[in-house]
Amino acid sequence: MAKYIGGDLGGTNVRAGIVDTETGEVTNLISVPTIAREGQDAVIRRMADLFLNVIKASGLKVSDIGGIGIGAPGQIDIENGRTIFLPNLYGNWVNAPVADKIKEYTGLSTYLLNDVRAITFGEWKFGAGRGARTMAVYAIGTGIGGGMVIDNHLHLGLDGTAGEVGHSMIDYNGPLCGCGNRGCLEMYASSPAIAAAGLKAVVQGWTTKIGELAGYDLNKITAKTVSTAALQGDAVAMQIYEQVGFYLGISISNTICTIAPDRIVIGGGGAQAGDLLLNPIRRTVKERVKLADPEKVTIVPAELGDNGGVIGCALWAYQQKEG
């Protein structure tokens, strides 16, 4: 059975659609507010209603759907379909039996996966990773998530935690990260880190368009503000992206030395800067990777956008159910 539901549980919205697991086509995509402050049970019930509404909108019956895959932003107990730790979702999600509850409400077998591991799976099968035997994804947003496919298999490692590239160390004496370690890549190259660099430039009085683009309201300076300025040729903003690309390039160089991928895929909202970010990454990799041939590693933007996770979750559910 080729049709599965892919769901994406985010801090702001829950999105779901029906995915044809043979073609990657997504239909009947619907998004509803998460409203996490109402608590775990209310969010799970809202998700179940969303999945049933997606099926209803498609004109299919519940029995026409093979199962449900859900991507969640954090640490997942994949085997038991429970969330262990969701750092960016309000409320207590420790050991929440999400898969069992969704199955109880919908009657459909449900499987959980980390959201960026899901994006990785989707991009590998139907997106920028098509044809790659081994690849890694760097998803740049509020944090930096990641995932890896090794020898044509989604690599999950110990407890499903493989691919946490955002917590590779750039400087072991660096600033404290939310994970408890110091000097993690997230602290240097995530969207908040880019915004903070833009804010610092404005506060220090550097000549830059960043302040103007934010209406001279420091609270409105975001990574998008900085990327917009950079794309307009603003020298300060361009230098911020040079530095961010360098830090990403260092982490990616380590990944290349570790798993020797044929492709690196850069996704997430932070990747909207395009070549402003990709070019310094590529230069750094070329300079720093000595034992593998960096020319054989293609570094490309993600292709599936917001649908990557929805597609990857559906594929994961299909793989788990069909074996």
Taking only the tens place, the pLDDT of each residue in 264-312 is 999 998 888 899 999 999 999 999 999 999 999 999 999 999 999 999 9
Residue 14 belongs to some domain of the structure: yes
Residue 88 has pLDDT above 90, yes or no: no
Give tens-digit pLDDT for 239-256: 999 999 999 999 999 999
- Residues 159-184 have a mean pLDDT of 94
pLDDT at 270: 82
Separation CA 248–CA 207 (nearest Å): 26
**Residues 140 and 281 both lie in one domain:** yes
Residue 196 belongs to some domain of the structure: yes
Number of domains in the chain: 2
Percent of the chain with pLDDT over 90: 92
- From residue 315, alpha-carbon distances to 21, 114, 116, 248 in Å are 6, 13, 14, 28
pLDDT at 115: 95
**Residues 311 and 214 both lie in one domain:** no
Give tens-digit pLDDT for 109-128: 999 999 999 999 999 999 99
**Residues 193 and 283 both lie in one domain:** yes
**Residues 197 and 264 both lie in one domain:** yes
**Residues 98 and 144 both lie in one domain:** no
Residue 318 belongs to some domain of the structure: yes
Residue 125 belongs to some domain of the structure: no
Quick one: 176 exposed, middle or buried, by C-beta within 10 A (0-12, 13-18, 19+)?
exposed
pLDDT at 219: 96
pLDDT at 153: 97
Residue 193 belongs to some domain of the structure: yes
Percent of the chain with pLDDT over 70: 100
**Residues 18 and 83 both lie in one domain:** yes
- Residues 164-173 have a mean pLDDT of 96
Residue 1 has pLDDT above 60, yes or no: no
CATH of the domain at 161: 3.30.420.40
Q: By residue range, what is the domain housing residue 8? A: 3-120+306-322
